[in-house]
Chains A and B, each alone.
Chain A
Amino acid sequence: MEDHYKITSFCSIRDQTVYKDGEEYYTNTEAATVKDFAKGVYKHLALNYAKFYKMDDLCKLSFLASEVLSQGIEFPEDTALVLANHASSLDTDRKYQESITNREEYYPSPALFVYTLPNIVIGELSIRYQLKSEGVFFVSESFDADFILQYASILLETQKASQVICGWVDLDSHKYDVFLALISKTGNREANAAELNTIYSKL
């Protein structure tokens, strides 16, 4: 990636705690479920976005990380989204599977079904910020800063996007690991793989 691109801001959500730019932003160790924790963050952020409650847990966590990331920052409509995870949409896939196992009571839920693909996260964020941009969601073994930045770099350098929200949004049952970074021309941290790995790993 060219030198003039920076890591403008980043947000991580792990172990019932939200971090913004490496600093603890919100924690709630009393939350019994991911849903409860996410609701607590939503209330803390004083958001008013009814669609949040309809999202699955993967989308909720990604949405909340993006909201923290967006504080004081505008996302122009050509902000690209480059995301990845390991578990795909498995958490919701399991719930959907459970809901259709009883052939006597076979009532598949459309609201659950729409979340049985991980790239719905891209859709939810695009709707929220009115993005009309490139969006991609990869499923891979682990967070690969090199790969993510390489993809982001192509979008930026070919002027397909003016900035990129990239990261790792993984959820499987009660375990989650969410990390989003905004890459643009402003910021103090160089946008390179070593730096991205450092801020991803240190919390």
Chain B
Amino acid sequence: MAELQLELKEKIIEQLSLEDVEVSEIGDNDPLFGDGLGLDSIDALELIVMLEKDYGIKLKDPKEGKLIFESIGVMAAYIEKNRTK
């Protein structure tokens, strides 16, 4: 799980162009949206694309993202349980 969490942090920094953010600055339980990393609605869509592209998880309802993308920890647990690749 720790490996997947690290992988997610690296992917998020790269794919969401968070150039001034270091992996070490993202806590496993830090909120990704709002006061946390400050991600926005377009970032949420990018994360949905990333789930499908990299882990073979297709969200049927984009609203599910609100729960899944709460933090790196929650996201990693969801991926671990549902990934097809």
Contacts and interface: CB of A to CB of B under 8 A. Distances in A.
Q: Give the interface residue-count category, chain B.
A: 10 to 19
Interface string B31-44: 00000001000110
Contacts of B18: 50, 53
Contact of B52 (A39, A53, A107): A107
B45 interface: yes
Contacts of B46: 109-111
Nearest to B21: A50
B23 interface: no
A53 B17 contact: yes
A103 interface: no
A54 interface: yes
Contacts, number: 29
Contacts of B38: 50
Contact of B20 (A53, A107, A109, A110): A53
A111 B15 CA distance: 9
B16 interface: yes
Interface string B48-74: 010011000000000000000000000
A52 B25 CA distance: 19
Given A50-B38, A114-B42, A107 B53 contact: yes
Nearest to A54: B17
B19 interface: yes
Interface in A29-88: 39, 50, 53-54
Nearest to B46: A111
A158 B42 CA distance: 37
B17 A109 contact: no
Contacts of A54: 16-17, 42
Contacts of A107: 49, 52-53
